[in-house]
Structure 1
Amino acid sequence: MSEVFDLTCQLIRRRSVTPDDAGCLPSIAERLQRVGFRIEHLRYDDVDNLWAVHGQGGPLLMFLGHTDVVPSGPEESWHTPPFEPTVHDGYLYGRGTADMKGAVAAMTVALEAFVTEHPEHAGRVGLLLTSDEEGVALHGVREVAEHFRRTGETIDWCVVGEPSAKERLGDLIRVGRRGSLSGTLTVRGVQGHVAYPDKALNPIHAAAPALAQLAGQAWDNGNADFPPTSFQISNIHAGTGANNVIPGTLTALFNFRFGTASRAEDLRRRVEAVLDAHGLDWQIDWQLSGEPFLTPAGGKVRETVTAVCRDLCGIEPEQSTGGGTSDGRFIAPLGAEVVELGPVNATIHKVDECVALADLERLPELYKAICARLLVG
């Protein structure tokens, strides 16, 4: 089979459940070093990161990916072993095939071919890989971005290999992502016997109107690039396990996905104002996992990736800011234009995750073409 197929299979066999890299990064580093890439291993806490770069000066084109995967779940639920790559009916099955070991393999093979064909290319081309994207994402690209700030590294363009396509390779690229703001809300009451509610304060009853107001509130109207902000309560917990006890506290988990029409600090302020208006005794632990980012129309990497999809895939890609978050949220604040291009995302994080062999074989061509159009005169 092809180089990209073989490398994808090698990576799938490594049980790199986040944040364990399981040896993926050293194997990729060895390949890239052989063709002249300068290798930097960046380990923070228990997370391995790889920065490989080729060339001199600027501009800098970065490819960005991750080798960690989510757990497989019960392996008996899979039709084939999740960490043993299996081909069936034109698809390669295994955990990480689509998210995103297939794209990591394609980036690696594309970069090997590009620098071999164009050893004197303009500027620099790099590959940044982490083993902490599917987990808490504290010591992966977030930490590397801080390292780049300290060292003065400037990134002009970034192509993220996240699975972006809906039905066929190249039918959708992501040109931005919404921000994600989470909160853990604690509402304090007074525990007591359900038969004597006058001697207690039920935090469930007290919080319910405020939570209903938050859930029904329009936070903004969105804009041309992003949909309206979404607020979702993902968990509510209270009680001692007994049906005759009024609980003393309620805990609720919630999340905002927001675009550029709102700011995180304004969302926090508005939530807290609602809680105060309802007279609650509350506390919130906030977590901002990423601000929204957008590569505007006319940006060079956005135009290049669009043209490559059009020319090589025969399709005009939809340009979207939907979906969840990606590590692009840590690179965009460095001043980089960020676009995401990868395989079909229909099976990511699912049992029997797979990628079409035809898409896997074509993906290195797309990545290499992006390099050539940006770094070869």
Structure 2
Amino acid sequence: MPKSLMKGNEALAKGAILGGCTHFFGYPITPQNEIPEFLARELPKTGGIFLQAESEIAAINMVYGAAAAGGRPMTSSSSPGIALMQEGISLLAAAELPSVIVNVQRGGPGIGTIQPSQCDYFQMTRGGGNGDYSIIALAPSTAQESAEMMIDAFELAQRYRTPVFIVSDGMLGQMMEPVTMPSKVPQQSVKKDWAAVGHDNRRPPITIKTLALDPCDLEQINLRLQEKFMRIRESESRYETYRISEAELIFCGYGSVGRILKNSVDQLRHEGVRVGLLRVKTLWPFPVEAFNVLPPRCRHILSTEMNCGQMIDDVRLAVNGKIQVTHYGRPGGIIPTPEELADHAKNILAGGCQ
């Protein structure tokens, strides 16, 4: 198939159309604006609906309405905008409404900067809104993966009746790379007998709500949701290993940092330093099983992120005290270089940095 040069944001938008997106609702914010720009032009050509909402709060509630009516809706934003959506995201999870939410992260906290960051890891993996719920969070590292994971996100949303996050960032969203797009993507047929689509007196009316005043009823709802989350944990965690054979130190990263770390690994291996990479592709469910197959020589895991240390909590839980885990991060929108990451790893192995 021919390749096209496109930004990561454009690859996400194209992937959304191929994934069967029927509705987009969103509000402009840098550095994700190419997504609504692309979909405003292209989604109506496929019969879809594009609407610029008056706010991020309005957008996520429009997603709720379209999903409740059986559509395949999505929204996209960046860190502060996603923060505004949290109540609506909790509602989507509670009502079990399939939807896709893209976060092209920027530096924070607060308004922060428009530069790339990974400071929303907690927000993407710890719910963010109220209640006991989890959301599938896919983390691409390339424009190609951005398109592929977006297509996958729509299928996962339908399969599990859940919102799905795509966790990108300003670096990945703005860089241009060759991308190979399939001409057509077959979509699974899902019976939506739960959707509020009208009944013409042929069946009882359907009401979609998240309010349960009886605590016993709400407990049963929560237990049913937890059973679904367990199935997702067992089936949908994903990761990639790179040159981990005989590695004494293993970098652990995701997204843009995951691709940078491959260069660090290649550089160090060329110098004879035994390192490898474990790249996390699903931030939730976190691939705990990946840490059970690390080489026996591994004595250190370096959790590497563009933040002050967030994924390291999940890494430490997965390792369960068997291997030393430390963090290296650049917060505020600074992108680490392969050389500085390689130097830090060498210092650790030499015993000069813990």
Give the TM-score of the pair, scaled to structure 2.
0.32
Q: Find the structure with the greater CA-based Rg.
A: 1
Give the TM-score of the pair, scaled to structure 1.
0.30
* Structure having greater relative contact order (Cα 8 Å, sep ≥ 6): 1
- Identify, as 1 or 2, the structure richer in strand: 1
